[in-house]
């Protein structure tokens, strides 16, 4: 003999409504996280561009400094 607990139709409907609420909450959270992800992705792309620019500027400054030092070294022996 199999004993199965009787579940009323009202309880089933309440369970379904609770699941629908949880599913909708999860969908909203997923959407919110996706928007946040897109924003972070754009921020990251901007930061990568800025880093490349700064590295380029650093390299140019280094080359200028080396050029100036070379000129100073060329002038020093004659002074």
Q: Where are the domains of the chain?
A: 25-74
What's the chain's Rg over C-alpha atoms?
34
Its pTM stands at 0.64
| Range scoring the smallest mean pLDDT among 2-11, 20-29, 31-40, 70-79 | 2-11
**Residues present in the chain in total:** 79
Q: Phi and psi (nearest 5°) for 18?
A: -65, -40
Cα(36)–Cα(39) distance, rounded to whole angstroms?
A: 5
Percent of the chain with pLDDT over 90: 82
Triad 38, 43, 47: Cα angle to 5°:
150
The two tokens of residue 47 are 């930061």
Confidence band, pLDDT 50/70/90 cuts, at residue 77:
confident
């Amino acid at each position: 003999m199999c004993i199965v607990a009787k579940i009323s139709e009202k309880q089933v409907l309440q369970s379904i409504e609770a699941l629908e609420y949880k599913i909708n909450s999860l969908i909203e959270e997923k959407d919110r996280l996706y928007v946040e992800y897109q924003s972070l992705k754009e921020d990251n792309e901007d930061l990568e561009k800025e880093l490349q620019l700064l590295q380029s500027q650093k390299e140019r400054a280094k080359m200028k400094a080396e050029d100036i030092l070379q000129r100073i070294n060329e002038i020093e022996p004659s002074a």
